[in-house]
Amino acid sequence: MLTLQNLSIRAGVKPLLDSASLTVHPGQKIGLIGQNGVGKTTLFKTILNEAPIEAGHLCVPANWLIGCVEQEVSTDQLTALEYVTYGDSLYAKCIDDIKLFEQQNNQELLVKAYDGLDKISGYVVPNKAKQLLYGLGFVESDFDKQLSNFSGGWQVRLKLARALMQRADLLLLDEPTNHLDIEAVAWLEQWLKSYEGAVLIISHDRDFLDQV
């Protein structure tokens, strides 16, 4: 479990959290609410080791993978489906290895790479990515479009889908319903309900938090 004990953080000279304590158990869903500027996003950055702690303790299990939404969409010439599937880092590593060993014509390592893909159930990953894309409002003809062909709002959805692909023990979601229509929000509610990992959600949508 993740624990915060008497945690204090600040932005410059402005105190954001003062002696805050929190325990996040495996599988737990927790909503963070509050006005803008009170430290919710900074808390996420602290958990990700991207912001300093002024006082107190933050303990993250060494074997926990923490997932979050990327700030920027990759500039690589990836298709939407490739971008989302590569949110699964284990799958991405296997696919990159397979491509490399095919180029090198290294049959021995290629066999091992395919074996590794099988061990992580990698053959179902593209289908999982498609289901995420469908749920967030994409259609099949979008799958092979390059990322640069999507508007900013749809790129936000792609980043969310990529985050949901991560095999995370703890998922950090900051206003995940932004740029989503009613159908996509309803789908996300159901997806998060069935998610087995822990989730911390920053949201101003109280109805959404209550449903999750």
Judged against a pLDDT cut of 80, whether residue 132 lies above it is answered with: yes
E strand or H helix that includes residue 6:
strand 2-11
- Rounded Cα–Cα distance for residues 174 and 88 (Å): 20
**CATH top-level class of 1-65+168-212:** alpha beta
Domain boundaries, the chain: 1-65+168-212, 73-166
For the stretch 50-74, pLDDT in tens is 999 999 999 999 999 999 999 887 7
> What's the whole-model pTM score?
0.92
Q: How far is CA 79 from the centre of its chain?
A: 18
Closest of 74, 85, 80 to residue 167, by C-alpha: 85
- Rounded Cα–Cα distance for residues 168 and 73 (Å): 19
pLDDT band at 34 (very low <50, low <70, confident <90, very high): confident
- Rounded Cα–Cα distance for residues 142 and 165 (Å): 18
Q: Please compute the mean of the pLDDT values over residues 15-42 and round it to a whole number.
A: 90
Other Cβ atoms closer than 10 A to 80: 24
To the nearest 10°, the Cα dihedral for 161, 166, 170, 171?
-10
pLDDT band at 134 (very low <50, low <70, confident <90, very high): very high
- Rounded Cα–Cα distance for residues 37 and 32 (Å): 13
Other Cβ atoms closer than 10 A to 73: 17
- Cβ(3)–Cβ(22) under 8 Å? yes
Task: Please state whether beta strands 170-174 and 198-202 pair in parallel, antiparallel, or not at all (unpaired).
Answer: parallel
Percent of the chain with pLDDT over 70: 99
Three-class SS of residue 198? strand
Judged against a pLDDT cut of 70, whether residue 36 lies above it is answered with: yes
